[in-house]
Structure 1
Amino acid sequence: MDLIISAVLSGCEGWKDIEVFGHSKLPWLRQFRAFKHGIPTRHSIARILKTVETDSLVLALFSWVNEQRSQSGRPIIAFDGKTLRGASKKREDNLHLVSAFDCESGLTLYQRTVENKSNEIPAVRAVLDVVDISYSM
């Protein structure tokens, strides 16, 4: 998972990208894991990802991001809803997201999908259960 998370955070978008990233960053990655059999193939990476429960991974990632934020000062947190056009072949099935964004650090603190654009307010309430907005504006 160290390889996959590092690769995705570095902009990799597919299994082959993750594999190529791993080969190019192997000495750095070995600081965290042995990789005694080298970098897994893209097929192995795909099998690993199919076993991961998406919601748990997203929650763990955003919890880590929240821990990294500086609690000094009063960071400004923006909540925003967006519709991702082109994420679906059917026009009515576009993906709707609500995000919490730390304006100071440029980090997305949390993000979740919503059924449709009219459900953003309840989604923001759910985001508030995850994002620590103490001392924020």
Structure 2
Amino acid sequence: MDKAILVEKDIEEGRKVIEALKENGFPVNSAFWLYKSEPDEWRLTFASPLIDEQGPFKAYSFVQKVLSKFSPPLGIAVAETTVLSDKDELVEGLRRMDKQTPGILPNMRMRRSSINKRYVDDIYIYYATP
């Protein structure tokens, strides 16, 4: 993707990746697109217990394997993804938001916000499982 604008095609492709990961046994407890002004890019981000249980190499290998199954290939490369621990501050903040106001997060976009004391330039949230 490698761009500063998130468009509907990116959101739909992200949704396809999330579903494919889950269908292939990769536990995705939270998923969102996260924009970072430095280096001016969007990252498809997942929170998964796999990071803590088996480490980042195993998690990213799994993501790469699932991405390689798409034909034609999607516009998302493994280098444009981030897999976080379920214990990550941002993920915990999203869960807390969803718990306080159930149903608020699915398909929500927030710009220039603070989530769990962490500044977020821009985020599109698919979901955050409490």
Bigger Rg over Cα: 1
**Is this a same-fold pair by TM over 0.5?**
no
TM-score (norm. length: structure 2): 0.29
TM-score (norm. length: structure 1): 0.28
Q: Which has the higher strand share?
A: 2
Q: Which has the higher helix share?
A: 1
Structure showing greater relative contact order (alpha-carbon pairs closer than 8 Å, 6 or more residues apart): 2
